[in-house]
Amino acid sequence: ESTSVYSGSVDGSLYLTKNQKEKLRMTMPMTLSFCYMALLWLREPITLSELLRFVVEGHIPYLNIFQHFPEKMKLCGLDLKIFCVESWPVYEEVFNKMHELAAFLDLPRFPDITDSCFLHPDMLCMKYLMEANLPDELHNWTCRVVKKIGIGEVDFLTLMPGNKSTRKVKYDVLAAAVIVVVLKLLFLLDDHYEWLLSEFAEERNKNNTEGGPYFEFKKWYEVVKHSLDMEQKKLDEERAKYLWRCEKPLFYSVKNKSKVLKRRQMVVNLQNQFGKLSGSVRRAEKPNPSSFQLSWSEENTDGSCFHGHSLKGILQEKCGLLRAMNPDYWLCTVKLCNEKLCGHLAHYREVEFPQSYHFVLGLFSFLLRIQPSYIHDEVCMIEHKLFNKKLCKKLKYNTVLRK
């Protein structure tokens, strides 16, 4: 094979020189921004966190993409820096670049996200409630919160590229945060009240003659924590076993081709030798992509599914309406930070929060594969919208509010 075949791209080195006037340079993560942008435009029923999870699970070509290039396109030299992927795509990066891209392309207002769309918080809340094994009845509450603070409005949810005044919506994170706020509204989550309430519900369950059992926080916590821990452990092992290379090796130049091929051969030999000694057979086929990472079946007789449980155990009737027994609420933060300056609305790590709050954030953090601090930011944002009037009265820091 002649050397000219291995010259790689014509402008690879130019592409990578640092003094680029345009900050928007096509990279592998940016291709995902493109994909997400298209999916959003088409209002496909898939969130960004799901998309990235599918990428990491190998259902979407991304890692070692050059395997799928036409024969004529041979990567060489600096192309490797562009096309070689050695890290998982990061939600924030893909998200931010998508918006930059939409503005750069001068796109008009995206198609409306209405309440019949998958990405609408009412829909996503339903999905996440199911996945978190929470009672269906909580959906009424999430819808109420969504309506009250106006985050179900079409103008709030629909993307208007280039509009810097509106906050960009992370549909998946937003929905998760709504659920967290609802849990705080009903259970307080201060490491005391939710357990007391649970005991109360347990008592009421003993005399419960109606069909479905009352929801008990303690039981839910035990079941979900157990599954979560198991899944997290599996995930941790998969991270350690993650394979980055493929059969087709890349060489920087013709000179190191033989060395690279030798190494590849050695790697394959060792993988075969130790693979045989591994005991269990590695799955030959990847399992199909699944929208749900945790699933709970009502058919299980062990009572591990809480979808049909009733909230009556923790609600009280007043004037014909069911209201939460919990009269209190604690704010995650009294004052929101300037997101543009420090990147966050609030600082999750620097404050001590109740363990139950950590747990709930951790659950959604696992499902969405993002840092809990991002969900925390959305929770703060929602709380501030929800308690807007009360906050204007300038209450003392860390005061518990009466609803």
User: Residue numbers of the site for other proteins (CB under 8 A)?
Assistant: 56, 86-88, 90-91, 232, 235-237, 239-245, 249, 260, 263-264, 266-267, 269-271, 273-280, 358, 361-362, 365-366, 369-373
Distance CA 27, CA 158 (A): 26
**Which residues have CB under 8 Å from 256's CB, separation 6+?**
none
Residue type present at position 301: T
* Residue 237 beta carbon to other proteins: minimum distance, rounded to whole angstroms: 7
Pick 46 or 370: Cβ nearer other proteins: 370
Pick 282 or 393: Cβ nearer other proteins: 282
* Residue 280 beta carbon to other proteins: minimum distance, rounded to whole angstroms: 7
Pick 20 or 256: Cβ nearer other proteins: 256
Pick 243 or 284: Cβ nearer other proteins: 243
* Residue 353 beta carbon to other proteins: minimum distance, rounded to whole angstroms: 12
Q: Which residues of 299-328 are buried (b: 16+ CB within 10 A; e: fewer)?
A: eeeeebbbbebbbbbbbeeeeeeeebbbee
Pick 13 or 355: Cβ nearer other proteins: 355
* Residue 90 beta carbon to other proteins: minimum distance, rounded to whole angstroms: 6
Distance CA 189, CA 326 (A): 10
The answer to whether 124 and 285 are in contact (CB under 8 A) is: no
Pick 232 or 291: Cβ nearer other proteins: 232
* Residue 373 beta carbon to other proteins: minimum distance, rounded to whole angstroms: 8
Pick 203 or 237: Cβ nearer other proteins: 237
Distance CA 331, CA 380 (A): 8
Distance CA 330, CA 347 (A): 16
Q: Using alpha carbons, select from 156, 36, 53, 30 the residue that is nearest to residue 366.
A: 53
* Residue 327 beta carbon to other proteins: minimum distance, rounded to whole angstroms: 30
* Residue 279 beta carbon to other proteins: minimum distance, rounded to whole angstroms: 4
**Residues facing 310 on adjacent strands:** 214
Pick 31 or 373: Cβ nearer other proteins: 373
What are the phi and psi torsion angles at 262 (to 5°)?
-65, -45
* Residue 154 beta carbon to other proteins: minimum distance, rounded to whole angstroms: 31
Query: Can you tell me which residue has the tokens 């479905």?
Result: 212
Task: Find the DSSP H helices in 133-170.
Answer: 138-149, 154-157
Instruction: Give CA 196 to chain center in angstroms.
Output: 31
